[in-house]
Amino acid sequence: MCGRYASSRRAEDLVEEFEVDVLRIAEPLEPDYNVAPTKDVYAVVERPPSKEHAERSEQHDPEQHDPGQDGPERQLRVVRWGLVPSWAKDASIGNRMINARMETVAEKPAYKRAFAKRRCLLPADGYFEWYPTQQTTKAGKPLKQPFFIRPRDGGSLAMAGLYEIWRDPARPDDDPDRFLWSCTVITTDAEDELGHIHDRMPLMVERDRWSAWLDPTASQGTLLDLLVPAAPGALEAFPVSREVSNVRNNGPSLVEPLPLEEVVE
């Protein structure tokens, strides 16, 4: 699974890296080295051009503008981690829908519609997993050592995700907060090198496949072909401080390699 990750890059940097056309965020997010479910995160999506964008284009060159030729625009948005399907009665369902399994994402009712039309990329520095050690807690449970897993080349992860737009029935039509944008991370089997830490991992989308993954008109067959695990050796894992286990802790120290003498075995 993926239950915690780090995302510290600025919105401006993500716009450049992911070739975003439109920045659609009210306020930039602070660097977060301990992203947990229900937090706001950045998501790259492709959506039809806004009415305002189409009107500006038509005013600029009315004779050349053809609304039918307006393709989707790539946007950077802020969404909540924990998918809330459009049919949900309330938003609390998102608390337990932070991951969608690659093997069933195209069929499960909670994800099927989003997989067909609303796919996204979730930028991350890396993600955390916990490995059960031979030591135990006072309660007799295995003491877990957190690991941070990131690209070996120091680049960004583009995690495959889905997003939904949920209409809050309790809010009036003129309430700007009546729509909740939310997301989930798609997971797959962990490669052999990382599987000893946890048997699942976020699904990564390679740069040359970003456009195909985001394309809202792509066929299901094409999408399933895109869902492949990260190339073996592309990621590295190292133990980090157990402070990351507490969601109230934050800061770049959480992703620093832990000295060997402090690693729990």
What's at 173, amino acid-wise?
A: D
pLDDT-above-70 percentage for the chain: 90
Closest CA to 33 of 259, 258, 263, 249: 249
- Bridge partner residues of 32 (DSSP): 7
Q: What pLDDT, on a 0 to 100 scale, did the predictor assign at position 50?
A: 63
Kindly tell me if the per-residue pLDDT of 240 is higher than 50: yes
pLDDT tens for 105-153 read 999 999 999 999 999 999 999 999 998 888 887 777 888 999 999 999 8
Q: What pLDDT, on a 0 to 100 scale, did the predictor assign at position 51?
A: 59
Residue 15 domain flag = yes
Residue 247 domain flag = no
d(Cα 241, Cα 93) in Å, to the nearest integer? 31
Residue 82 domain flag = yes
Residue 257 domain flag = no
Q: Which residue has the higher pLDDT, 230 or 155?
A: 155
What residues make up the domain containing 22? 5-52+69-126+153-230
Q: Which residue has the higher pLDDT, 30 or 235?
A: 30
pLDDT tens for 163-191 read 999 999 888 888 888 999 999 999 998 87
Residue 244 domain flag = no
Q: Which residue has the higher pLDDT, 237 or 224?
A: 237
Kindly tell me if the per-residue pLDDT of 195 is higher than 60: yes
Report how many domains make up the chain.
1
Structure tokens, 246: 């507490």
d(Cα 116, Cα 85) in Å, to the nearest integer? 13
Residue 221 maps to which CATH number?
Answer: 3.90.1680.10
| Displacement of CA 169 from its chain's centroid (Å) | 26
Q: What pLDDT, on a 0 to 100 scale, did the predictor assign at position 70?
A: 64
pTM: 0.89
d(Cα 224, Cα 188) in Å, to the nearest integer? 12
Measured in degrees and rounded to the nearest 5, phi and psi for residue 34 equal: -150, 60
pLDDT tens for 42-74 read 999 999 876 554 444 333 333 433 444 467 899
Q: What pLDDT, on a 0 to 100 scale, did the predictor assign at position 66?
A: 41
pLDDT tens for 79-100 read 999 999 999 999 999 999 999 9
d(Cα 1, Cα 203) in Å, to the nearest integer? 10
Residue 74 domain flag = yes
pLDDT tens for 205-220 read 999 999 999 999 888 8
Residue 140 domain flag = no
